[in-house]
Structure formats: structure tokens, C-alpha cells
Structure 1
Amino acid sequence: MLVGKRISDRYKIIGLIGGGGMSNVYLAHDMILNRDVAIKILRYDFTNEDELHRRFQREALSATSLTHPNIVSVYDVGDDGDLHYIVMEYVQGKTLKQYIQEFAPISPARSVHIMKQLTSAIANAHENHIIHRDIKPQNILMDAEGNVKITDFGIAMTLSATSFTQTNSVLGTVHYLSPEQARGGTATNKSDIYALGIVLYELLTGELPFSGESAVSIALKHLQAETPSVRAFDATIPQSVENVVLKATAKDASHRYSTVEEMQEDLETVLSPNRMNEPKFVIPVDNDVTKAIPIIKEPTLRKDEDLTKTRAIEPITQSKPKPEAKKPVEKAVPVKKKKKWPLYVAGLVIAAIAISLFLLFATSPKKISVPDVANLTIVEATKKLEAEGFTVGEEPQERYDEDIEKDKVIETNPAEGTERVKGTEVDLVVSLGVEKTKVDDYRGQQISQVQSMLKGKFLEPEISDVYSTEPEGTIIEQEPLPPEEVIAKDTSMKFKVSAGVKMVTVDNVVNYTKAEMDEYVSRQGLKWRISREDYNNTVAAGSVISQLTKAGTSVEAGSTIAVVISKGPAEKPVKTYVTTVVIPYEPTEEGIEQQIRIEVQDKIHSMAKPYAEFPITSDKEYKIQFVVEEGQQVAYKILRDSQIIAEESFNYDDIK
């Protein structure tokens, strides 16, 4: 049991995440970098297979060359005794398979968004000459933000090589297996495109296009049956989206997208309104070729097969037709033979000479020159060396180099141009890039001292002055920050240095409103407060009457200005007066209503608005109440049928 153990004195195993046919995946903690990682460990029953082990390491090293936001990063590859492991990025979330099971069917927009991430990742892998070979939702992880990342790069390629060697079978998950793989052919980039098409089908429908009771029965459907229509499942799915599925899953690889990039370009516009009702994708018919389609029979089915796992699928082949019965041949008339023994003797002599020459030269191994692989990636260098007949050492040497960029080959051992026999192992020396320097923390130090320390090591620093309460010349901020590592000779440190405290000259703020005060102090880097509020007959209410910090005074930035705010003019004495008026009823015809309107002008009333309105059919006594402010003149007016019949005005002092 590995839980609790430490691998290579660095990775502490926390728990088992999952497992497959060839390896198990554990959650581990990187004790050096203090982060959680996923660690894939080759199962014990495969550790003694040297070829598998070498390929496992080689393909894992290839995967480290893949850097893409939608590919799970490979951090480290190594051995610890009999344990062979790969350390990968730990993605906290769920698999795409779990997401489909929980939320399917997925909307076309969301499905296309996911597929664009997947095609971008696979395109990156193909650019690096890596074919995934086992694309399926179980190998796609989804984080909490809904971003997807593909995992298990290179491992499927490793295991398939072993499968071919041992059983001549094809490795893959049968539900996503391309027709050419099912026939026992070599997987290509178009095999990955086929699997992506199946994944899109599953996203849109929540189902797999082909199912059966055994792996072989499903593989037969990949070979013989057309991909079902997603629009038959949901008619609202645009035809343009279905066309992506149909083209990606075409039986003949030549009818699929040429590259994953082409598929990605199609996905970019697939939801455009002008494409929603485009014609259905149809496989072009080749009228010049007539093909005989054989009937392929399915072998006996097994009820207990797990069809979701990556597995070895025996290639489906057609039995050869029995040869036609030979026609009888007429008996030849015997002819007298000539003696041929002298020819036989001559032939034997020539053969003996040829064999002697062959043994002479064949037993002397031919030497070939080690090719130049400098500036190539490990994958490119390995391919070139193997193509020349050399093998490549499992553990490349590493060293810093100012001229060769990181992860590219500096030189080989034996050196380029050295002659060696075929099969010689060549070790690679790989660049770690330019050696980096860990940045120190210079904050709180004087800029003059730091400049002296950095001179000759770093580029000239970029310095900007900022006002601060720190002593003048003190470094307040820096970029980059420790413990970042940088290439010193290419790096210019950036420093913000204290210029001391900023001084501000106070302006005359009398008559400023509160809003104007807010804007002023914000602009000057000051604050303000109300000392008190007083009545004032000349300064409007809410504006500054006076300031306690006099205009022209210099203060530190951040200081507070105290001001006196106006409450407006002081209130005057008020009297309340009530007068009673008699409104005479004088109709032109007895019994007719007359309309009365009373208008008042005082502290709270205006003649623009009626004080009272009512009808009368007889004389009416009415009380009018006035609110009179000191120094104010008030008045009233009575209208009967719109005619003024009484009006009067009087002053504050007239009221006793």
C-alpha cells in the first residue's frame, strides 16, 4: 500500500484517485514546492518489462513538451526503485464523463465551447507530433470554473506499442475507436479527430452513438454503421452543429477534417445565424470505383466485458476467399533432358564465393557518424538519432547554457560526428536555459546602496519617485518580488522610491459647496471636516462661510481642513392672525349657486394657488388664517363667480 509513503523523498502519497489497466493514479503532495499533484505509477506487474518501461519514460518525457491551458501539465518523470512514475498537475473537479452523466444533454453553445478547448489542446499535441489515441470523456478533466483539460498524453502511444508487439492488437476504448484502428491499422491524427466527433455526439445527446454486448460488436458498428443523427435526438440542434459530428466521424479518414485546426475553425462559426440551416454534410460518392463490401460476422459475445476501459481490441479482418479449383493441365510430351551437372557444380562454386564474401563483410560492423541534434527538442533529437540507427539514453544530462534555450539539446555523448556502430546508445545533454538568480527583498533599503549592489549584475534599474511618509530615498515597492528567479543580465529591476512627504498649499474655499469641497480635497490629497454651522444672510445654506486653515497655508498631504458651513439666513419672528369675512350671496336668479374662490399671500401661501374654493346659496361667514413673518406684507382676495368682491393687505406691524 503506497498511501503515506514518500516517493523519491519528495512526493508524499495521500490517497488513490483512480486506476487503469497499466497504472494507478494517486493524489500526492510535493514536499519541495508545497503543492498537491497527481502521480501516475506503473503497476508492479509491468515494471520488469524493459521495453515497456523505456517507452513509458520516453513518451512521458514527450508529454512534458506539451504546454497548453487545456492539457494537464506533466511536471516530473522518474524512478524510485521498482516504481516508475509520472508527476502531473492535479485538477480539482470532475471528469467530463461525470459532467455528461449529471447534466446531459448539453446545449449546443456549451458543447461547442467545450469542443473548442479540446480541439485547441489536440492541435497543440499534433504540432508536437503526439497522437493521443485514447480521447474519451474519462480522460478529460473539468475544473470548478468549467474549463477542460486533457490528460494521459503519450501513455496510450506507449501501451499500444507493447500491444502490437505481443498480440498484434490495437489499444483503445472501443466506444471512441476509429474504423482504421478497429481494422488493425495505425492510429493517425485523423483517429483523434474521429474520437473528438464521438465526444461531441455524447455531449449533445448524453448517449454513445454505438453500443453492443461486446467490444467486437461495437467495433463492427464503427466499421459498418453510419453515425446516428443528433437532430433525430433533438431537432433544435442546428444542422451546422450536426455537420461537425458527421464530418469528424466519417468512416473513410479522407472524408474527415484534414487537421484538428480545420475542425476548430469550423467550430468557431458553427453557431453563426447564417449557418444554422446549411445543407446536411454528405459523404461524396466516388462513381469511378465499384467496391465489394464483405459481410463481417461477429464472434461469440462475452457478457462480462467492461466496454468503457482502454483495452486491446483484436483487429477485425476478413477471411480470404478460397482459391478456385485448379483446371486440369494437359500432360506434356516427355522431352529428352540434357546433362546439367556441370552447371550445378559452377553454381555451387559461385554460391560458396558469395557466402564467403558475405561473411567477410557482414561480420565487420559498419560504423556511422553521430548526427548533429543541437538545438532540437528531446523528441526531435530522439527521432533523428533513432532514424540513423542509434538508441537514446533514458536519462538526459542537464546543464545551464546561455545560448541554447531550455529543454533543447546542447550536445551528445559521443559527440556529433563521432563514428559508432549501429545500436550504440547516445546520451543527450539538455539545456536548463540560462541560469537564473533569486531576487532579494530590497524594500526598506536606500536606493543608492541597492544601485551599487546591482551594478554589473542586472540592467540599469527603473526608478520612479512617490510621495511617502518613509524617509526620502527609501525603496517602497519593487518588481519582481522575491523569491522569483530571473536572468539577471536581462532583467531591469523596477523600484518605487520615497520622495518624502508631499506638501499642499491650501486654497480659499469660501463659498464652496459640500460637493465642491469633496472634489477639491480629492484632487489635492487632503481631507475636510465641518467645524460648526452658522446662520448667514449672504452665503447660501450648505456652503462654506469661513475656513479655520487659512488660504495659502502649506500642509502635509492627507491633512484635514476645518470649515464653517452656512445654515442660510436666520429665521424671523412669525405671527398668526385670523380674520373673519362675510361673503354676500347676490345671484342674478334666486337659488342659483355662486362659486367662491379665496386667495391668500403670506409666509406659507401664494395667490397662485387658491386658499379655498366652495359654492354658496346664501351669505356665508368664513375665517381666514394668516402666517406673517416679521417685515412681511400679507393680503387676501375674494372672488365670486370670478369677480373680485373684496381684497385687503396689511403688514406684520399692523397685527396686534
Structure 2
Amino acid sequence: MATVTSDPFVGRLVDGRYHVVSRIARGGMATVYLAVDRRLDREVALKVMHPHLAEGTDGGEFVARFRREARAAARLAHPGVVAVFDQGVDGETSYLTMEYVPGTNLRHVLQDEGSLSVGRTLDLLEEILDALAAAHRKGLVHRDVKPENVLLDESGRVKVADFGLARAVSEGASTATSTILGTVAYLGPELITSGRCDARTDVYSVGVLAYEMLTGRHPFTGETPLQVAFQHVNSDVPAPSDVEPWIPAEVDVLVCALAARSPEDRPVDASAALALVRQTRQALDPAALEGRSSHPTRTAAASGAEPAPSTGSPDTAVLGVATAALAGALARPGDTPSGTTGTPAPPTAPDSTPTTALPGLWATRGEGATQPTDRAGTQHTLALDRATVAAHGDAPGSEDGPEDEVLRRAGRRRRAWWWGLAIVVLLAGALTGASWWFLSGPGAYTIVPGGLVGAPQAGAEQTLAAVDLRSDVTEAYDDTFAAGTVISTDPGAGEKVRKDGEVHLLVSLGVKMIEIPTGLVGKPAEEATEALKDAGFTVGDPVEAYSDTVPAGTVVSVSEAEGTSVPHSTVPVLTVSQGPAPVTIPQVVGLGKDAALTALTDLGLDPSSTDDYSETVAAGLVISQTPENGTEGHRGDKVALVVSLGPPLVEIPNTYGRNVTEAEKMLKDAGFAVEIRHPQGISPLNIVYAQDPAGGAGKTAPKGSTIVINVF
């Protein structure tokens, strides 16, 4: 599939996760890009809604419809439906992430090949209808079936995309004034006229799609979409063989049934349409499936030759005649085959290709509805030519000659043929009515029994088996219903289901349990949060707490024990460290060493001390601190103290035998205080004969201390 890279969105990282690689396609509501999911390392299709659609008074409706696409498609789990992975908003950008399907789409195939063979058309119809049937069983209508939304992967398998226009059936009854979304070439008449749609609207679109695959063109064209829509509402989709005469009559019947103008004339849903396609395939010979092969009925009719004798069983041959006759009889009054006027001539004998009536797969035709007809059976005429008359007698115009007898015998044969035809028509009508009653009408259905929801699975299956209904079980987690009990049924209790049909049971697995990842404590908060989200949890707002040991931004604890299994609705909360708590440094200068250390330790600080002499601070008291008093810090911060050792030690001068005046000066110069005593009384000599403490080499005392000298 070709991609476009000249787009400003290319190269952008959406929502921190999806790296846009290239543009794939652009539609009316959104643009689709190829992107890489960096988290899961895989290619995805990223669908981005056009920003202008979210503006104005209708912006909210468009955004809601865009987001509804994810919810609708996510309910479908089918290999033929493109899976939706995620939905989100990045700023002003609303986006979806979907399965990326490398390959092409049906539009490109039709552009390359023009038209497809009958066999390939039926193959594609089966895959498309199988995917739509899964949606219809969920109560979803696609509303926009067209070649662009039919993707073909690299192996050729079909995947139906873009449920962006899908709505639940309960929402399908929108008013006629609402905006009609979809491609007009494929819209059902009821969607155009009233805005109402159901599963049969998708069947109509598939019928138009089948016409286009077989003929390479649309059934209705016009210069404006309004002209095309008018034709959908007021005209029947023509038979494909009007364009391509090689197409078998059985395929005409199929296409006209799928694309019937009245919803009541179509198969009730994709499942019924799928059964009709398979029944049509069984009615065709292998040569017809190859495409433009010889089709006996149509070849004989076109050439004017007698058709080959039927090689099928007598019942098959009679049923073929009855089908052709019934088709002609049910056509609108006044309708005639293409190229003829007046009363249709009787059909010839059936061809060698078995023709199946295909009864019971669509509802009874309403008044005025156009029936698919077998032109191979209605365009033949019985003509008694002049050569035949001449072979039996005189030339025309003679009275009471052999020619008159021949004409009389021909008239009797013609009347006998018409009586035979009337009987065949009556028998065919009875057969068709009975077939409709038992295969598609009221006789084909039963009622889904009640009491299944909330019942154990085994009991529900027994209840269904008792009324000859099969059960198909899908399991899902549920917060309300106990494990092993039925959550819902499809169809629901009291609704109709075909006899010997199947009821889908959704059985509870109980509350979904998820394991809390291990190793969260000690991780950065962002990594731990991502691990919880990847495990499937919605993570609560983190709680911040101070920690003396865990670095800031790191997980301290988790509200749920790691490695334990908890309900999926649990909201784990992470406690994240803010680092150490703030502390104001106190004043400890002047305190004793032990008291200062205790005060700082109690605040969570880390104090240390050194000793130094001080002439002003007594020994054992704090001289200074770093940081200073009033500084803002955190628990665990270091605080350095200087503790006083008292005054420094000074050598004591020896003043023995010196004059008192000289001795006093020596001591004061050394930093001591001097006390002069006269134990012997005052003497005119004034000589120091003793000092305390004694001085001399190696003799010290604290600076500022008092030295006593005795004088006589």
C-alpha cells in the first residue's frame, strides 16, 4: 500500500509513545499513519482525527463518534476485523491505534483488475460477510462498507476496517435530520431517506460491492452525490448480467437479494447473507466459478438454439423451471424482459446447469418490490414459424387445409403448456412458501429461554440443549458475576433464534486478579509507575515523604505488597522520597560539649568536634559552630564544633633574687597576673626570695593565671 511522507505530522512522537513513520491514507474524518509503538516495539496504524472536526458546535459530536470507534471495534474479536489497540488524546490530537495490515485494499484490486471472476467474488463476499456477522452478533452496524474499508493482507486474507461509523443497534434509530455518514455509492435507501439503519443496511452495501466486483462499475452513477442517492432510493439495483451477460442467473439472484431496495426483502443480517452466498456457490458448476465461461442457459438463449437436455436430477430440473416461472410471475405488473413488450412468453426447458430456488433466506417480498428474475427462462418465446407449417401441408392461406390442422394442434399444445405452467407456478409457490416458513419464516425460529443470566455455565448449556439449541461459550472477567456463571447471552432471553441454532454465552472468570510487580522499592518513581501500568493497574497519585536514607524521587514503599495478586480495580499508591527533612541549625555555642552534641543529634544532624585553647571560653564549652545558628539545612547535614581547652600554657619566668619591680614586669609580660607578698615585712631591699608556682625551664601555667612572689 503506497504511503505519503510529505506530511508535517510525519516524524512526530504522539503521546510520548507512537513515532509516526509515514502517512498511509486520508479520509473524511481522519488521517491514518504508519507508526511504531516504542513501548511494545511493533508497527501500528495510527488514526488521527482531523483537528477542524473538533471545532465549532458539532465538535463534541465528532469527537464522541471518533472515540466510539475504539469502543465499538474493541468489542469485536475476529480475524477478519482490524483490531483496535488503544485510544487517547495528546493535546488537541485525538487518536486511535489499530492493527497495521500490510498489503492493499479492494479498491486498488478493482482499479488494477477491473472486475473479478465469480469464484473470487464469492470468496471475498464470504470473508467480508463472516466479519460483518461477528459485528452483527454484537449488535453493531458498520454503516460504511466499501472497497476502501476491505483490506487484503499480504496473504490475501480479508480484514474489514473502519468501524468509525458503526453504532450500536439501539442507537441506529437516529432522526432523518441527522448527518448521514458514509460513501453514497454504497448507502442503503433507508439510511438516505430516514437515517435509520440495521444489519440489513450493511447487507445492501455488500450487495452493491458484489455488483461492482462482478462488473467493475457502480450500479448507479451521476454527476452529483445527490443524483446517485436519488437512484438508490427510487430504482432497483440492476442484475449484473445486464452489463456482463456471462454472469450466471444464480449470481443475479444473489446480488438482487442482497441489494433489494426494501430492507424486508434482504437477508436479515450478515449471517443469513453468508448462508445465501454459500448456497449460491453450491448451485454453480465449477466452470461458472472461473468467470467468463460458457453458461448453458445463457448461451442457448443468446444464440436461439435449443438448450441442452438437463443432466441434473428430475427434481433439480423441475425446481429450475419453477424458479424461473415463479420469478416471472412475481415481477411487477406490466414489467417485461428487456427488449420485449406485452405478455412474457413462456420459458423453455431448463438448462443443464442446476438452478436452485434459494428459498428462505430473505423475508416475504413487500408490495411493489422487484423480484430477481431468470431472463434465460423469460426471454424465450414459442413461435410457430411458417417453415414448420409448410412442412405439414399446403401453403398458408388455403381454407381448411393441413395448415389449419397444424395451427389447431399448435393451439391445443399451447393451451396445455399454459395449464402445465400454471400448475408448476402453483407448486413452486407452495414449495417456496413452505421453504420460507421453515427456513426463514416463523417456523424456522424458536425463543431463547430465560433464566440463563446468572446461572452456572453447565446449567445454562443444559437448558439450551433441552430446547435443541447449541451453545458457544466465551469467557471474560467480571467484577459482579461469580466465576463460572453466565454474564449475558446473544441473542438475549425472549429473542428469536433459528431452530438448531446457537446461543452465545458470555461466562464469567470472576474478578480479574493482577500481580503487583516486584522490585518497585528503590526504583525511580517514573519506572515504578510504568511497571504498574504495564501490569494493568491504574496508579494513584504518589504520596511524598521525607527519608534520611532513600534518595529524593525514589520509591520508599508501595501500598500493596509486592508479588501479591490483587483485584484489577485496585489502585496502587507509591510513597516517594523527598529526601531528608529540612532542619534549622540551632545555637550551641557556649554549651558544654556533651550537651551540644546531644542537641544536634536529636535534630537528625551529624555533629563533630575539635578542641582548641581559648582565653575567653572556659574549658569544655563550645567556642564556635559551622554552619552558624539559624542556617537552613537538612537532616543528616554535618555540623562542626570547636570546644575550648581553656587558656594556652605559658612558660613561667624565674624571678628568684630579682628586684620586685623587675620581677613583676617579667611575669606580666609573660601573660600572668602577679600577687606581691611581704611575709617578712617591708624591706628596703625589695628582693624576691620565693614564687609560686616556681619558674624556670619547663615550668608552665595557664596564661592569665596568678603568680605569687614573696619579697623582703
TM-score, with structure 2 as normaliser: 0.40
Relative contact order higher in (CA < 8 Å, ≥ 6 apart): 1
- Structure having the higher Rg: 2
Structure with greater helix share of residues: 2
What TM-score do the two structures reach when normalised by structure 1?
A: 0.43
